[in-house]
Protein backbone atom coordinates (compact mmCIF):
# COMPACT_ATOMS: atom_id res chain seq x y z
CA UNK A 1 0.00 0.00 0.00
CA UNK A 2 0.99 3.60 -0.52
CA UNK A 3 1.09 6.41 2.04
CA UNK A 4 -2.26 7.86 0.98
CA UNK A 5 -3.98 4.65 2.13
CA UNK A 6 -2.95 5.40 5.73
CA UNK A 7 -6.18 6.84 7.13
CA UNK A 8 -6.51 7.81 10.81
CA UNK A 9 -8.72 4.76 11.35
CA UNK A 10 -6.22 2.37 9.80
CA UNK A 11 -3.36 3.90 11.78
CA UNK A 12 -5.30 3.38 14.99
CA UNK A 13 -5.89 -0.23 13.98
CA UNK A 14 -2.17 -0.80 13.25
CA UNK A 15 -1.19 0.65 16.63
CA UNK A 16 -3.59 -1.62 18.52
CA UNK A 17 -2.17 -4.24 20.86
CA UNK A 18 -2.20 -7.71 19.31
CA UNK A 19 -0.94 -11.17 20.30
CA UNK A 20 2.84 -11.46 20.42
CA UNK A 21 4.71 -11.55 18.08
CA UNK A 22 3.74 -8.72 15.74
CA UNK A 23 6.64 -8.44 13.31
CA UNK A 24 7.70 -5.15 11.70
CA UNK A 25 10.39 -5.16 9.00
CA UNK A 26 11.69 -1.89 7.54
CA UNK A 27 14.42 -1.16 5.01
CA UNK A 28 15.51 1.55 2.57
CA UNK A 29 14.82 0.90 -1.11
CA UNK A 30 15.77 2.50 -4.40
CA UNK A 31 13.51 3.76 -7.17
CA UNK A 32 15.83 3.16 -10.12
CA UNK A 33 18.54 0.92 -11.50
CA UNK A 34 21.30 0.15 -10.85
CA UNK A 35 20.85 0.92 -7.14
CA UNK A 36 17.66 -1.12 -6.85
CA UNK A 37 19.55 -4.33 -7.67
CA UNK A 38 20.65 -4.54 -4.03
CA UNK A 39 17.11 -4.32 -2.62
CA UNK A 40 16.15 -7.95 -3.20
CA UNK A 41 19.34 -9.17 -1.50
CA UNK A 42 18.82 -6.83 1.44
CA UNK A 43 15.23 -8.02 1.82
CA UNK A 44 16.28 -11.69 1.82
CA UNK A 45 18.85 -10.96 4.51
CA UNK A 46 16.28 -9.20 6.69
CA UNK A 47 13.81 -12.05 6.26
CA UNK A 48 16.53 -14.47 7.39
CA UNK A 49 17.20 -12.26 10.41
CA UNK A 50 13.49 -12.19 11.20
CA UNK A 51 13.34 -15.97 11.03
CA UNK A 52 16.33 -16.30 13.35
CA UNK A 53 14.78 -13.86 15.81
CA UNK A 54 11.54 -15.84 15.83
CA UNK A 55 13.41 -19.11 16.32
CA UNK A 56 15.44 -17.75 19.24
CA UNK A 57 12.57 -16.05 21.09
CA UNK A 58 11.26 -18.30 23.91
CA UNK A 59 8.02 -16.31 24.05
CA UNK A 60 7.04 -17.44 20.54
CA UNK A 61 5.21 -20.76 20.32
CA UNK A 62 5.88 -23.25 17.55
CA UNK A 63 2.47 -22.56 15.99
CA UNK A 64 2.88 -18.77 16.12
CA UNK A 65 6.41 -19.01 14.70
CA UNK A 66 5.24 -21.04 11.72
CA UNK A 67 2.23 -18.76 11.11
CA UNK A 68 4.23 -15.51 11.18
CA UNK A 69 6.92 -16.96 8.92
CA UNK A 70 4.25 -18.04 6.45
CA UNK A 71 2.69 -14.56 6.41
CA UNK A 72 6.12 -13.00 5.94
CA UNK A 73 6.88 -15.32 3.02
CA UNK A 74 3.59 -14.37 1.38
CA UNK A 75 4.40 -10.69 1.80
CA UNK A 76 7.87 -11.04 0.29
CA UNK A 77 6.46 -12.92 -2.70
CA UNK A 78 4.05 -10.06 -3.31
CA UNK A 79 6.56 -7.19 -3.10
CA UNK A 80 6.76 -5.45 -6.47
CA UNK A 81 10.25 -4.00 -6.86
CA UNK A 82 9.06 -2.02 -9.90
CA UNK A 83 6.92 0.14 -7.59
CA UNK A 84 9.70 0.77 -5.09
CA UNK A 85 9.96 4.21 -3.54
CA UNK A 86 12.37 5.18 -0.75
CA UNK A 87 11.57 2.48 1.82
CA UNK A 88 9.70 -0.76 2.34
CA UNK A 89 7.73 -1.69 5.45
CA UNK A 90 6.31 -5.18 5.97
CA UNK A 91 4.00 -5.88 8.90
CA UNK A 92 3.03 -9.46 9.75
CA UNK A 93 1.42 -11.44 12.55
CA UNK A 94 -0.15 -14.89 12.68
CA UNK A 95 -3.23 -13.84 10.69
CA UNK A 96 -2.22 -11.16 8.19
CA UNK A 97 0.48 -9.18 6.45
CA UNK A 98 0.70 -5.68 5.00
CA UNK A 99 3.18 -4.18 2.56
CA UNK A 100 3.87 -0.43 2.56
CA UNK A 101 6.08 1.35 0.04
CA UNK A 102 6.92 4.81 1.32
CA UNK A 103 8.35 8.03 -0.20
CA UNK A 104 10.57 8.49 2.84
CA UNK A 105 13.61 6.46 3.82
CA UNK A 106 13.59 4.07 6.79
CA UNK A 107 16.43 2.20 8.49
CA UNK A 108 16.94 -1.55 8.36
CA UNK A 109 15.05 -2.99 11.32
CA UNK A 110 13.35 -6.16 12.46
CA UNK A 111 11.12 -5.61 15.49
CA UNK A 112 9.07 -8.20 17.42
CA UNK A 113 6.50 -6.67 19.74
CA UNK A 114 2.84 -6.72 20.77
CA UNK A 115 2.01 -3.99 18.23
CA UNK A 116 3.31 -2.90 14.84
CA UNK A 117 6.04 -0.27 14.47
CA UNK A 118 4.24 2.69 12.87
CA UNK A 119 6.62 5.63 13.24
CA UNK A 120 7.95 5.28 9.68
CA UNK A 121 4.42 5.19 8.28
CA UNK A 122 3.40 8.23 10.32
CA UNK A 123 6.45 10.25 9.32
CA UNK A 124 6.01 9.36 5.66
CA UNK A 125 2.36 10.41 5.74
CA UNK A 126 3.20 13.67 7.51
CA UNK A 127 5.89 14.47 4.96
CA UNK A 128 3.90 13.53 1.88
CA UNK A 129 1.88 16.79 1.81
CA UNK A 130 -1.25 14.84 0.93
CA UNK A 131 -4.26 16.52 -0.65
CA UNK A 132 -7.50 15.78 -2.49
CA UNK A 133 -8.34 16.80 -6.04
CA UNK A 134 -11.94 16.97 -7.29
CA UNK A 135 -12.36 17.00 -11.07
CA UNK A 136 -15.84 18.30 -11.84
CA UNK A 137 -18.40 19.05 -14.53
CA UNK A 138 -22.20 18.94 -14.73
CA UNK A 139 -21.94 15.33 -15.90
CA UNK A 140 -19.16 13.81 -13.83
CA UNK A 141 -17.10 14.12 -10.64
CA UNK A 142 -13.87 12.24 -10.05
CA UNK A 143 -11.75 12.16 -6.90
CA UNK A 144 -7.97 11.91 -6.88
CA UNK A 145 -5.55 11.45 -4.00
CA UNK A 146 -2.46 13.63 -4.33
CA UNK A 147 1.03 13.47 -2.85
CA UNK A 148 4.45 14.81 -3.78
CA UNK A 149 4.71 11.89 -6.22
CA UNK A 150 1.56 12.64 -8.22
CA UNK A 151 -2.16 11.86 -8.35
CA UNK A 152 -4.04 8.60 -8.09
CA UNK A 153 -7.75 8.01 -8.85
CA UNK A 154 -9.84 7.16 -5.79
CA UNK A 155 -12.95 4.97 -5.74
CA UNK A 156 -14.69 5.69 -2.45
CA UNK A 157 -17.83 7.30 -1.01
CA UNK A 158 -19.54 7.01 -4.38
CA UNK A 159 -16.71 8.48 -6.48
CA UNK A 160 -16.44 8.59 -9.43
CA UNK A 161 -19.94 9.97 -9.96
CA UNK A 162 -21.82 10.29 -13.22
CA UNK A 163 -24.99 12.34 -13.67
CA UNK A 164 -28.10 10.37 -14.65
CA UNK A 165 -28.69 10.59 -18.38
CA UNK A 166 -32.19 11.61 -19.42
CA UNK A 167 -33.58 11.57 -22.93
CA UNK A 168 -34.57 14.99 -24.37
CA UNK A 169 -38.18 16.00 -23.63
CA UNK A 170 -39.62 17.90 -26.63
CA UNK A 171 -42.81 18.85 -24.75
CA UNK A 172 -40.74 20.40 -21.94
CA UNK A 173 -38.65 22.32 -24.48
CA UNK A 174 -41.81 23.63 -26.12
CA UNK A 175 -43.16 24.84 -22.78
CA UNK A 176 -40.02 26.78 -21.81
CA UNK A 177 -39.13 27.82 -25.33
CA UNK A 178 -35.56 26.44 -25.34
CA UNK A 179 -33.29 23.76 -24.00
CA UNK A 180 -32.25 24.72 -20.43
CA UNK A 181 -28.66 25.73 -19.73
CA UNK A 182 -26.48 22.90 -18.47
CA UNK A 183 -25.73 24.68 -15.21
CA UNK A 184 -29.19 26.13 -14.59
CA UNK A 185 -31.12 22.88 -14.77
CA UNK A 186 -32.44 21.24 -11.63
CA UNK A 187 -30.85 17.99 -12.76
CA UNK A 188 -27.39 19.60 -12.59
CA UNK A 189 -28.15 21.07 -9.17
CA UNK A 190 -29.30 17.71 -7.84
CA UNK A 191 -26.20 16.00 -9.22
CA UNK A 192 -23.86 18.52 -7.59
CA UNK A 193 -25.72 18.13 -4.30
CA UNK A 194 -24.84 14.43 -4.52
CA UNK A 195 -21.23 15.39 -5.23
CA UNK A 196 -21.24 17.67 -2.18
CA UNK A 197 -22.57 14.86 0.05
CA UNK A 198 -19.88 12.44 -1.15
CA UNK A 199 -17.13 15.05 -0.78
CA UNK A 200 -18.29 15.81 2.77
CA UNK A 201 -17.94 12.12 3.65
CA UNK A 202 -14.41 11.98 2.21
CA UNK A 203 -13.22 15.07 4.08
CA UNK A 204 -14.79 13.92 7.35
CA UNK A 205 -13.01 10.56 7.18
CA UNK A 206 -9.66 11.91 5.96
CA UNK A 207 -9.28 15.73 6.20
CA UNK A 208 -6.78 17.12 3.67
CA UNK A 209 -6.34 20.30 1.64
CA UNK A 210 -8.69 20.27 -1.34
CA UNK A 211 -8.10 21.38 -4.92
CA UNK A 212 -10.91 21.83 -7.46
CA UNK A 213 -10.61 21.69 -11.22
CA UNK A 214 -13.47 22.31 -13.65
CA UNK A 215 -15.18 25.03 -15.63
CA UNK A 216 -16.04 28.12 -13.59
CA UNK A 217 -19.85 27.59 -13.78
CA UNK A 218 -19.49 24.06 -12.38
CA UNK A 219 -17.30 25.21 -9.48
CA UNK A 220 -19.64 28.11 -8.76
CA UNK A 221 -22.71 25.87 -8.73
CA UNK A 222 -21.03 23.41 -6.37
CA UNK A 223 -20.47 26.28 -3.94
CA UNK A 224 -24.08 27.37 -4.35
CA UNK A 225 -25.67 24.00 -3.58
CA UNK A 226 -23.31 22.84 -0.82
CA UNK A 227 -20.59 23.69 1.67
CA UNK A 228 -17.87 21.02 1.32
CA UNK A 229 -15.89 22.66 -1.47
CA UNK A 230 -15.87 26.21 -0.11
CA UNK A 231 -12.64 25.80 1.97
CA UNK A 232 -10.69 24.57 -1.10
CA UNK A 233 -7.11 25.84 -1.08
CA UNK A 234 -6.87 25.99 -4.86
CA UNK A 235 -9.18 26.23 -7.86
CA UNK A 236 -8.32 25.72 -11.52
CA UNK A 237 -10.90 26.85 -14.08
CA UNK A 238 -10.25 24.20 -16.69
CA UNK A 239 -12.74 21.86 -18.33
CA UNK A 240 -12.30 18.16 -17.64
CA UNK A 241 -14.09 14.95 -18.61
CA UNK A 242 -14.55 11.58 -16.99
CA UNK A 243 -11.63 10.38 -19.14
CA UNK A 244 -9.14 13.05 -18.04
CA UNK A 245 -6.13 11.15 -16.67
CA UNK A 246 -4.20 11.74 -13.46
CA UNK A 247 -1.07 12.97 -15.32
CA UNK A 248 -3.19 15.41 -17.34
CA UNK A 249 -4.78 16.78 -14.18
CA UNK A 250 -1.40 17.02 -12.44
CA UNK A 251 -0.08 19.15 -15.31
CA UNK A 252 -3.02 21.57 -15.06
CA UNK A 253 -2.76 21.72 -11.26
CA UNK A 254 1.01 22.25 -11.12
CA UNK A 255 0.95 26.08 -10.80
CA UNK A 256 -1.75 25.98 -8.08
CA UNK A 257 0.15 23.30 -6.18
CA UNK A 258 3.38 25.28 -6.36
CA UNK A 259 1.63 28.41 -5.06
CA UNK A 260 0.08 26.41 -2.21
CA UNK A 261 3.43 24.93 -1.18
CA UNK A 262 5.16 28.32 -1.30
CA UNK A 263 2.43 29.91 0.79
CA UNK A 264 2.58 27.08 3.32
CA UNK A 265 6.38 27.38 3.59
CA UNK A 266 6.11 31.15 4.06
CA UNK A 267 3.55 30.71 6.86
CA UNK A 268 5.80 28.21 8.65
CA UNK A 269 8.80 30.55 8.37
CA UNK A 270 6.77 33.47 9.70
CA UNK A 271 5.58 31.44 12.70
CA UNK A 272 9.13 30.33 13.49
CA UNK A 273 10.46 33.90 13.19
CA UNK A 274 7.78 35.23 15.54
CA UNK A 275 8.41 32.43 18.03
CA UNK A 276 12.14 33.13 17.96
CA UNK A 277 11.50 36.81 18.67
CA UNK A 278 9.09 36.06 21.52
CA UNK A 279 11.33 33.35 23.03
CA UNK A 280 8.72 30.65 22.52
CA UNK A 281 11.11 28.72 20.31
CA UNK A 282 13.19 25.54 20.46
CA UNK A 283 15.93 24.65 18.00
CA UNK A 284 17.98 21.52 17.45
CA UNK A 285 17.19 17.88 18.07
CA UNK A 286 17.66 17.75 21.84
CA UNK A 287 15.67 20.91 22.61
CA UNK A 288 12.79 19.94 20.32
CA UNK A 289 12.77 16.36 21.62
CA UNK A 290 12.40 17.60 25.19
CA UNK A 291 9.66 20.06 24.19
CA UNK A 292 7.73 17.32 22.41
CA UNK A 293 8.05 14.88 25.30
CA UNK A 294 6.78 17.53 27.72
CA UNK A 295 3.86 18.45 25.44
CA UNK A 296 5.09 22.04 25.01
CA UNK A 297 5.53 21.98 21.22
CA UNK A 298 2.70 23.42 19.12
CA UNK A 299 4.50 23.21 15.78
CA UNK A 300 7.52 21.15 14.79
CA UNK A 301 9.31 21.99 11.54
CA UNK A 302 11.85 19.49 10.22
CA UNK A 303 13.90 19.47 7.05
CA UNK A 304 12.64 16.95 4.51
CA UNK A 305 15.66 14.62 4.44
CA UNK A 306 16.96 15.09 7.97
CA UNK A 307 18.10 11.84 9.59
CA UNK A 308 20.13 11.37 12.73
CA UNK A 309 21.34 8.46 14.84
CA UNK A 310 21.54 9.36 18.53
CA UNK A 311 22.52 7.98 21.89
CA UNK A 312 19.98 8.63 24.66
CA UNK A 313 21.71 9.66 27.89
CA UNK A 314 19.74 10.83 30.94
CA UNK A 315 16.80 11.80 28.75
CA UNK A 316 18.94 13.85 26.35
CA UNK A 317 19.94 13.06 22.77
CA UNK A 318 23.58 12.94 21.74
CA UNK A 319 24.18 12.65 17.96
CA UNK A 320 26.47 9.79 16.93
CA UNK A 321 27.85 8.69 13.59
CA UNK A 322 25.78 6.55 11.21
CA UNK A 323 28.26 3.69 11.65
CA UNK A 324 27.20 3.22 15.29
CA UNK A 325 24.73 0.29 15.31
CA UNK A 326 21.42 0.47 17.22
CA UNK A 327 21.73 -1.04 20.70
CA UNK A 328 19.52 -3.73 22.17
CA UNK A 329 18.83 -1.56 25.22
CA UNK A 330 17.34 1.24 23.09
CA UNK A 331 20.03 3.75 24.02
CA UNK A 332 21.21 4.12 20.40
CA UNK A 333 18.32 4.92 18.08
CA UNK A 334 18.67 5.12 14.33
CA UNK A 335 15.28 6.58 13.39
CA UNK A 336 14.96 9.24 16.08
CA UNK A 337 13.56 11.90 13.72
CA UNK A 338 10.64 9.72 12.64
CA UNK A 339 10.13 8.74 16.28
CA UNK A 340 9.99 12.43 17.21
CA UNK A 341 7.48 13.13 14.44
CA UNK A 342 5.19 10.34 15.62
CA UNK A 343 5.43 11.50 19.24
CA UNK A 344 4.64 15.08 18.22
CA UNK A 345 1.54 14.04 16.28
CA UNK A 346 0.41 11.84 19.17
CA UNK A 347 0.44 14.92 21.43
CA UNK A 348 -1.62 16.99 19.01
CA UNK A 349 1.33 18.94 17.64
CA UNK A 350 1.38 20.19 14.06
CA UNK A 351 4.30 18.82 12.02
CA UNK A 352 5.63 20.48 8.87
CA UNK A 353 8.37 19.19 6.59
CA UNK A 354 10.35 22.03 4.98
CA UNK A 355 13.02 22.32 2.31
CA UNK A 356 16.50 21.03 3.08
CA UNK A 357 18.88 23.69 4.46
CA UNK A 358 16.01 26.07 5.27
CA UNK A 359 16.60 25.41 9.00
CA UNK A 360 20.39 25.39 8.81
CA UNK A 361 20.62 28.07 11.51
CA UNK A 362 18.59 25.88 13.87
CA UNK A 363 20.33 22.52 13.32
CA UNK A 364 17.68 21.39 10.82
CA UNK A 365 14.85 21.10 13.35
CA UNK A 366 12.78 23.76 15.15
CA UNK A 367 9.61 24.12 17.19
CA UNK A 368 7.12 26.78 18.17
CA UNK A 369 6.26 26.30 21.85
CA UNK A 370 2.82 26.49 23.40
CA UNK A 371 4.30 27.61 26.74
pLDDT (mean) for 261-285:
95
Helix axes 37-56, 62-78, angle to 10 degrees: 170
Phi, psi of 239 (to 5 degrees): -65, 140
How confident is the model over 232-267, as pLDDT tens digits? Answer: 999 999 999 999 999 999 999 999 999 999 999 999
Can you say whether residue 157 is alpha, beta or left, with left for phi > 0 and alpha for psi between -120 and 50 degrees? Answer: left
Whether 79 and 43 have beta carbons less than 8 Å apart is answered as: yes
Banded pLDDT at 173 (limits 50, 70, 90): very low
Q: What is the mean pLDDT of the chain?
A: 90
* Mean pLDDT on 161-190: 67
Check pLDDT > 60 for residue 168: no
Residue 97 confidence (pLDDT) above 50: yes
Is 123 a residue whose pLDDT tops 60?
A: yes
User: Per-residue pLDDT for 177 more than 50?
Assistant: no
pLDDT in the model for residue 325? 66
Q: Which parts of the chain fold into alpha helices (H)?
A: 8-15, 37-56, 62-78, 119-127, 170-176, 186-205, 216-225, 246-277, 285-293, 336-346
In the predicted structure, residue 327 carries a pLDDT above the cut 80: no
Q: How does pLDDT run across 11-28, given as a tens digit for each residue?
A: 889 989 999 999 999 999
Beta bridge partners of 195: none
Task: State the Cα–Cα distance between residues 286 and 292, nearest whole angstrom.
Answer: 10
φ/ψ of 94, rounded to 5, equals: -70, -20
Measured CA to CA, the distance from residue 297 to residue 107 in angstroms comes to 26
Look at residue 288 and give its three-state secondary structure: helix
91 and 97 Cβ atoms separated by less than 8 Å: yes
Residue from 202, 222, 200, 225 nearest 213 by CA? 222
Q: What is the mean pLDDT of residues 175-203?
A: 81
Quick one: angle between helices 336-346 and 119-127, nearest 10? 80
Amino acid sequence: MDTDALTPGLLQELRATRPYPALSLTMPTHRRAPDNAQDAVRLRNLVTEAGNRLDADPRVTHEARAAVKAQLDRAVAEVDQRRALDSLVILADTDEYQIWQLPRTAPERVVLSDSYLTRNLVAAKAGAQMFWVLSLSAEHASLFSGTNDGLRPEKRDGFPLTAPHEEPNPQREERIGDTPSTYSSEDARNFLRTVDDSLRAVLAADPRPLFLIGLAPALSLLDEVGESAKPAVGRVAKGTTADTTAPELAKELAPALEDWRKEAAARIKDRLDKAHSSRSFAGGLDEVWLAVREGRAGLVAVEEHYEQTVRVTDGHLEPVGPDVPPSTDGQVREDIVDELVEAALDKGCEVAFVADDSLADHKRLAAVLRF
